[in-house]
Chains A and B, each alone.
Chain A
Amino acid sequence: MAAETLARLSAGLAARQYSSVELTREALSRIDRAQPQLNALVTVTAERALATAAVADRRLASGESGPLTGVPIIHKDIFCTSGVLTTCGSKMLSNFVSPYDATVVSRLGAAGMVMVGKANMDEFAMGSSNETSWFGPVHNPWDLTRVPGGSSGGSAAAVAARLAPLATATDTGGSIRQPAALCGVTGIKPTYGRVSRYGMIAFASSLDQAGVITVSAEDAALTLQAMAGFDARDSTSVDVEVPDYRASLDAPLTGLKVGILKEFFGAGLAPEVEGPVRETLAVLRKLGAVVREVSLPSLPLSVPTYYVVAPAECSSNLARFDGVRYGHRCENPKDLQDLYQRSRAEGFGAEVKRRIMTGTYVLSAGYYDAYYLKAQKVRALINADFIRAFGEVDLLLGPTTPTVAFGLGDKTSDPITMYLNDIYTIGANLAGLPAMSIPCGFAGGLPVGVQLIGPHFGEAKLLNAAHRFQQETDWHLRGPTGYATSFEPGAGPTSGRGEK
């Protein structure tokens, strides 16, 4: 297999088979070619990328490099990048040039990664199809008439099309895992507080977590190693030591207790998704895992709980957009109220307004106990279910999504239909748990993802299980037709690398 992964590119750079500048030029030319079809990026930072790559090459030459040095990366446009447009997929921030870097951006930059651009996304990360972006929808590289998932749709589509070997992403209710599943790539949402949220534009602060979308679990381990860890600038950052994720990747899975999430295999799960997800069990058993069914009775209440908690926090967080300090301002405001109301009405799209208003309602006088307090109590029940389950098993397993990628425009008319896409992913956010989606097969030529959920700070075990699975299978190495087979400079596009 050719150099498909960050790990292989890193080895190629270290062996001086190619330079970071060559790799970066290759990424930029792929972006140029793919952008008209995919719309995966909002901003391309070509000039800056080539300058960063030249610095990385000097580091590589002088031996001051690490495993990430010189590798191109795309940052989700929710992360602030100093001196570069940071839009969050919104008209509201379509003119916002960040004065500082998010911690995720500065840590990966310090490790020598080369930012080639900023990924398109659902507006303020609110969406499951990348159709709420002010900059237009992203198209799924496996089928351009379908959605890539969301909200990190640009990140997932870009990695699937190998525009870069990895992209940062964020996950509030499934926004890393759902697009990773629909685009056939690997995505990890770490434990709440594991990765700093500083400089990551807030949506729902008790749920938001940064992670990464990669080709392989090994690549996710390498990247998370540099991203994770305490940051005094994020008040919810947790001061817990970061283990060596790569060191435990190859650990045997003998005796690993895997719990099948009973509630995730009911009505609503498409049979063509259930098949490949169940087939992963045979692979895990072959590797020595012990599989049993586990029931979390409160888990089906995840979606209603989320649609109180997330909008409530969103309405509070997005109150900062006032048309005064930064962001969109309306023309000719007649007074201050008019300035606020029209700037916000013009700057936010329909879905963002819908969530702000839902949140405003559930937090308003007389309704707080019935909605927000009730939801936080149900959230405690869901969390207790997970804690009980992790007393019995090491990891939980289920589908990432109920269906494969759906058509652009298919679910935009009814918000509830769209919200139900995240039925399997929201639970991990409510309980603050780490979770991954990895490719496990295809249905009708479209990728299917399997989800693994771990106990708090159980990223190493998740990555270990995912890596061992990927040593036995090659689903994660398959890519859509028409895009380059590998990331090696000059590999060029091919056809028919999808389903065998």
Chain B
Amino acid sequence: MSLTARQIETIAGLARLALKPEEIPVYVDSLSRILGLVSELEQADTTSIEPMAHPLTGQVQRLRADEISSGNARDEYQRNAPQAEAGLYLVPRVIE
């Protein structure tokens, strides 16, 4: 299993990672090797095996009623924002 430089660029784009040109061959090599390791899975006969959805048999995702359970902590959370103003997160202009 060998990936191409073009594929790495596509994957990095999907993952929103800006790669430097010199990083591309490094990831071509290491991702290809990881997929080589992963290809061992092909040996396993998984005919009629249900994929595992949860490590504990019978456990399902718990849901709760859609009710407010804690107060508004916006200002506290925004203290970690790189740029915030008047309760809003600031980003570069999206619509010209």
Contacts and interface: CB of A to CB of B under 8 A. Distances in A.
Nearest to A335: B92
- Give chain A's interface residue range (CB within 8 Å of chain B): 35 or more
A193 B57 CA distance: 12
A235 B61 contact: yes
B38 A307 contact: yes
Contact of A232 (B40, B64, B91): B64
Contacts of A430: 55
Given A341-B17, A357-B11, A360-B11, A378 B46 contact: yes
B55 A357 contact: no
B94 A336 contact: yes
A329 interface: yes
B40 A238 contact: no
A326 interface: yes
Contacts of B40: 301, 304
A377 B52 contact: yes
Nearest to A353: B17
A308 B82 contact: no
B41 A354 contact: no
Contacts of B26: 350
Given A336-B91, A339-B92, A360 B15 contact: yes
A419 interface: yes
Contacts of B61: 235-236
B50 interface: yes
Contacts of B80: 95-97, 99, 325-327
A342 B46 contact: no
21 contacts: A95-B80, A99-B80, A298-B44, A301-B41, A304-B37, A304-B41, A307-B37, A326-B80, A326-B81, A329-B83, A333-B91, A336-B92, A338-B92, A345-B18, A357-B27, A361-B3, A361-B31, A361-B35, A378-B41, A380-B51, A381-B46
Given A324-B82, A374-B41, 13 more contacts: A193-B59, A235-B62, A238-B59, A301-B40, A308-B41, A328-B82, A333-B91, A339-B91, A341-B17, A350-B26, A354-B31, A362-B38, A377-B51
